[in-house]
Amino acid sequence: MIQPHGADTLNPLLVTDAVERDDLITEAATLPSLLLTSAAAANAVMLGGGYFTPLSGYMNVADALSVSQKMHTVDGLFWPVPVLNLTDDISGIEGATRIALRDPNVDGAPVIAIMDVDAIEEISAEQKETMTEQVFGTLDSSHPGVAVFQAEGKYCVSGPIQVLNLSYFESEFAGTFQTAVEIRDDIAARGWEKVVAFQTRNPMHLAHEELCRMAMERLNADGIAIHMLLGKLKAGDIPASVRDACIRKMVDVYFPKNSVLVSGYGFDMLYAGPREAVLHAVFRQNMGATHLIVGRDHAGVGDYYGPFDAQAIFDEIPEGALDIEIFSADHTAWSKKLNKVVMMREAPDHEPGDYVFLSGTKVREMLGDGIAPPPEFSRPEVAQILMDHYRSDGTEAAKA
């Protein structure tokens, strides 16, 4: 199986020994505590599950700036996006060397991790601007990832952590949420060697399904891991539970048995385009995938990135920085001429009118009106789940 990034073995920071964990929970009650941001809590979950191997905790300012500007830490570890614990209020932890980190996404803000504090540093406005522009490619506060990052606070609390739980993901997404450790074990149990990962934060329509099938066939892969984001999204995105139902129905009906692993991970979407695509590659390598599908506008939002910037960035990273390989995909759509889904670059004789195109707005309008998108766009079983969601969502909105 492919090796983890920067290490011989995974480095999950979740404490799994029950006695040690109980001792740490008892200790946490005696420690100064810090309420995390949602982004910092998501970082703790990814560290806990081994996705962020070989990191041992949150980065300091020097590493964050180095990663932002050069895509490697001060010590030379290749890494595309800072992994930070930012806050605006350090009054309760000043001078502390060991603190409890509290989860803002669970009622009662229970302790999610214990941290050995290496440093508490104030980030200057110039440093924050540099990180923002380098990672997101823009300073525009209308960009959802920029808006979140700018609001996160000016104090950087860095150091190694011991993770006590994986937030709400294990309970709310039981059977779907998996750590990198669990996915590696799953892949090994299936006997898969060549594994293609597909990243999604949306329900999968016919074009996505066929793209996965194309990648599997062309790479002669043993299986595909459909790996969905389960954390925070921007307003208007489909809830994770609905996406999960759509994807599982599609896999159950239209893929051969034991050819697809459906799972999810606990992270908040950054919408950072190319940089986030590289991060996706890092933690897909850590979970055991040998290939990652990178399609048009991967991890993008609005018009902030070119349609294939997330593919081009992989030509810029140092040779050998990653072992995982990229399957570069074009926009996929139903061809009226060929009566099948094609990658558009592979159909040079086609005009725009030869494809079935539906805007996201149009699809949402159809679903909200109880009209199924055409079968060239969406499987009927998937469309039904989405129609039920939009009708329910509209009813709840009307009641409010």
Q: Which residues are catalytic?
A: 201-202
Structure tokens at 394: 């509209």
**How far, in Å, CA of 70 to CA of 72, rounded?**
6
Q: Which helix (H) or strand (E) holds 226?
A: strand 223-229
Assess contact for 293 and 199: CB atoms under 8 A.
yes
**How far, in Å, CA of 192 to CA of 185, rounded?**
11
Of 393, 359, 383, 338, the C-alpha closest to 205 is: 383
Q: Which helix (H) or strand (E) holds 159?
A: strand 155-163
**How far, in Å, CA of 214 to CA of 11, rounded?**
33
Q: Which helix (H) or strand (E) holds 62?
A: helix 61-70
CA 50 and chain centroid, separation:
14
Other CB atoms within 10 A of residue 241 CB: 13
Q: Which helix (H) or strand (E) holds 112?
A: strand 111-116
Of 335, 330, 397, the C-alpha closest to 368 is: 397
Residue in the block written with tokens 């590289």: 278
CA distances from 291 to 48, 220, 257, 294 (A): 23, 11, 21, 9
**How far, in Å, CA of 307 to CA of 309, rounded?**
6
DSSP string, 318-368: PTTS-SSEEEE---EEEETTTTEEEEGGG-TT--GGGEE---HHHHHHHHH
User: Reduced to 3 states, what is the DSSP secondary structure of residue 228?
Assistant: strand
Other CB atoms within 10 A of residue 165 CB: 21
**How far, in Å, CA of 271 to CA of 288, rounded?**
24
| DSSP 8-state symbol, 275 | H
